[in-house]
Amino acid sequence: MSSTPTERILPGATLGVLGSGQLGRMFAMAATRLGYRVHVYAPEHDAPAADVCWRQTVGAFEDVAAVAEFAASVSVVTLEFENIAPIATETAAKYAPVRPSGAALYTVQDRLREKLFLEKIGVPCTPFAEATTAADLATAITQVGLPAVLKTAAWGYDGKGQALVHTVDEATAAHAELGGQPAVLEGFIDFQCELSMLVARNPAGEVATFGPLANDHVNHILDVSTFPDASLQPAAAEAAEIAATIARELDAIGLMCVEFFWARDGRLLVNEIAPRPHNSGHLTIDACRTSQFEQQVRAICNLPLGSFEPVVGGVAMANLLGDLWAGGVPDWVSALADPQLRLHLYGKVHARPGRKMGHLVALADDAATARAAAIAGRERLARRG
Ligand code: AMP
């Protein structure tokens, strides 16, 4: 191993990242600003992080020799994507600390394991039951009730691999589509809103949280995030406490995000744990003293965590999905001409519907103004002058 758990990894060192999407790109930009070099490892060519990193290795996560060579060339390995084969983190850990660890990753990679972990540490989450076999499904329906959401246990994100079911027949049909994949049935939560908390934790045990962020989804994909949201204040302290507890109990080092449903009856329920920076946290780049990506760098390098304190009164982020390209190239000039807006693009060449291509951030004196400005700015992009 090239560094011990308590050793500080100082600027000048090379940081390794498993995955090379937009989260890796923004991590690499934050790390490079601090004088680190970034080496990314991922199966894809022409990935968003490749434009801005010092070195890129293209290889499969199952290619033990290539992962070993990569990990031996860096001081620490982090990740920007949780669906990584355990063999990759196991192999990398022989050569460099992996933060967050493969064990933490293993717990949250699978919805069933994740929920059993939350239950064990006493954190409220959505009612759930395993629904892998037809017999499991029948029992799960009696335990969880209907309506419910049937989800694959692994490899799901942005609503992929899930179905809302209202009747036993619908549940049976959705279950048949999964073709025997491990699955979970979750009670449908009538929520007043969805919110998220960011939490950074370093090897010294220091913890910093940011949020709650108010998140609106469209077609299961994050659409707009806003901070601060006064209506979330009653849930803020509890959300921060839960996020910090999860980070400690998972013994996770790095930057994570905990997503919640705030039910109409007042219960705060964990929906998901992301063991990496999160789309809802992108607005920290423009709005906070320390961004979620810089916190990831600081945490994995065992440096003091920065302050998440906002530097503006209100901020909002609107995602730019590939759908925006339907009528041609968006009107970038309209966004760049507006001093309230900050444009972030991920360098992806092919715009497909639902694909995250970039985001637009609006900064203002208050959150409502920022939110309106982000949404209006995105509408102007679609008008193409
Ligand atoms: P997920 O991939 O589990 O985060 O789900 C994506 C989105 O689907 C969430 O952000 C919610 O908007 C919706 N959703 C998922 N599970 C539930 C549930 N149990 N009750 C209500 N809405 C849900």
Candidates 271, 278, 280: which one to mutate for ligand 1, based on the most atoms within 8 Å of Cβ?
271
Which pLDDT score is estimated for 120?
98
Which pLDDT score is estimated for 159?
63
SS3 19: coil
Report the separation in Å between the CA atom of 164 and the middle of ligand 1, taken as the mean of its atom positions.
9
Which DSSP category does 2 fall into? -
Q: Is the CB of 114 under 6 A from ligand 1?
A: no
Q: What's the rounded Cα separation, in Å, for the pair 33 and 53?
A: 11
Which of 275, 224, 83, 106 shows the shortest CA–CA distance to 160? 83
Residue 211 confidence (pLDDT) above 60? yes
* Closest ligand 1 atom number to CA of residue 215: 10
What is the rounded average pLDDT of the residues 33-60? 96
Residue 196 confidence (pLDDT) above 70? yes
Report the separation in Å between the CA atom of 100 and the middle of ligand 1, taken as the mean of its atom positions.
25
Residue 248 confidence (pLDDT) above 90? yes
Q: Is the CB of 14 under 6 A from ligand 1?
A: no
Strand partners, 310: 288
Beta strand 191-201 with 207-218 is antiparallel
Strand partners, 216: 224
Residues 249-277: tens digit of each pLDDT: 999 999 999 999 999 999 999 999 999 99
Give the number of other CB atoms < 10 A from CB of residue 321: 22
Candidates 82, 118, 149: which one to mutate for ligand 1, based on the most atoms within 8 Å of Cβ?
149
Q: Is 122 left (phi over 0), alpha (psi -120 to 50) or beta?
A: left
3-state helix, strand, coil in the chain (%, to 5): 35, 30, 35
Q: Is the peptide bond before 228 cis (omega within 30 degrees of 0)?
A: yes
Residues 329-374: tens digit of each pLDDT: 999 999 999 999 999 999 999 999 999 999 999 999 999 999 999 9
Residue 110, φ and ψ in degrees, nearest 5? -125, 125
Q: What's the rounded Cα separation, in Å, for the pair 307 and 365?
A: 20
Contacts of 328 (CB under 8 A, 6+ apart): 384
Q: For the chain, which domains are there? A: 14-98 (3.40.50.20), 127-187 (3.30.1490.20), 191-381 (3.30.470.20)
* Closest ligand 1 atom number to CA of residue 187: 19
Q: What's the rounded Cα separation, in Å, for the pair 206 and 204?
A: 6
Q: What's the rounded Cα separation, in Å, for the pair 108 and 82?
A: 8
Q: What's the rounded Cα separation, in Å, for the pair 35 and 206?
A: 23
Q: Is the CB of 196 under 6 A from ligand 1?
A: no
What's the pTM value of the predicted model, to 2 decimals? 0.96
Band (pLDDT 50/70/90 cuts) for residue 2 is: very low
Give the mean pLDDT of the chain. Answer: 95
Which pLDDT score is estimated for 156?
63
Beta strand 37-42 with 14-18 is parallel
Q: What's the rounded Cα separation, in Å, for the pair 156 and 377?
A: 31
Percent of the chain with pLDDT over 90: 93
Q: What's the rounded Cα separation, in Å, for the pair 132 and 9?
A: 44
Atom 18 of ligand 1 has which residue's CA nearest to it? 188
- Between 63-77, 88-102, 151-165, 360-374, the lowest mean confidence (pLDDT) is in 151-165
Report the separation in Å between the CA atom of 183 and the middle of ligand 1, taken as the mean of its atom positions.
15
Report the separation in Å between the CA atom of 138 and the middle of ligand 1, taken as the mean of its atom positions.
21
Band (pLDDT 50/70/90 cuts) for residue 180 is: confident
Candidates 128, 191, 220, 319: which one to mutate for ligand 1, based on the most atoms within 8 Å of Cβ?
220
Band (pLDDT 50/70/90 cuts) for residue 325 is: very high
Which pLDDT score is estimated for 384?
64
Percent of the chain with pLDDT over 70: 97
Contacts of 238 (CB under 8 A, 6+ apart): 268
Query: What tokens appear for 53 in the block?
Result: 């990193």
Which pLDDT score is estimated for 6?
77
- Estimate to the nearest angstrom the gap between the alpha carbon of 35 and the chain centroid: 25
Query: What tokens appear for 143 in the block?
Result: 């335990």
Note whether 157 and 110 are within 8 A (CB). no
Report the separation in Å between the CA atom of 191 and the middle of ligand 1, taken as the mean of its atom positions.
10
Residue 160 confidence (pLDDT) above 80? no
Which of 162, 174, 154, 142 shows the shortest CA–CA distance to 112? 154
Band (pLDDT 50/70/90 cuts) for residue 5 is: low
Report the separation in Å between the CA atom of 220 and the middle of ligand 1, taken as the mean of its atom positions.
7
For the CA atoms of 375, 258, 356, 296, the dihedral, rounded to the nearest 10 degrees, stands at: 110
Band (pLDDT 50/70/90 cuts) for residue 4 is: low
Which DSSP category does 13 fall into? B
* Closest ligand 1 atom number to CA of residue 151: 3
Q: What's the rounded Cα separation, in Å, for the pair 262 and 147?
A: 18
Which pLDDT score is estimated for 179?
87
Candidates 223, 261, 262: which one to mutate for ligand 1, based on the most atoms within 8 Å of Cβ?
261
Residues 13-36: tens digit of each pLDDT: 999 999 999 999 999 999 999 999
Residue 150, φ and ψ in degrees, nearest 5? -95, 125
Q: Is the peptide bond before 330 cis (omega within 30 degrees of 0)?
A: no
Atom 10 of ligand 1 has which residue's CA nearest to it? 220
Q: What's the rounded Cα separation, in Å, for the pair 78 and 178?
A: 31
Q: What's the rounded Cα separation, in Å, for the pair 199 and 133?
A: 36
Report the separation in Å between the CA atom of 195 and the middle of ligand 1, taken as the mean of its atom positions.
12
Atom 8 of ligand 1 has which residue's CA nearest to it? 220
Atom 12 of ligand 1 has which residue's CA nearest to it? 220
Residue 1 confidence (pLDDT) above 50? no
Report the separation in Å between the CA atom of 355 and the middle of ligand 1, taken as the mean of its atom positions.
18
Report the separation in Å between the CA atom of 286 and the middle of ligand 1, taken as the mean of its atom positions.
28
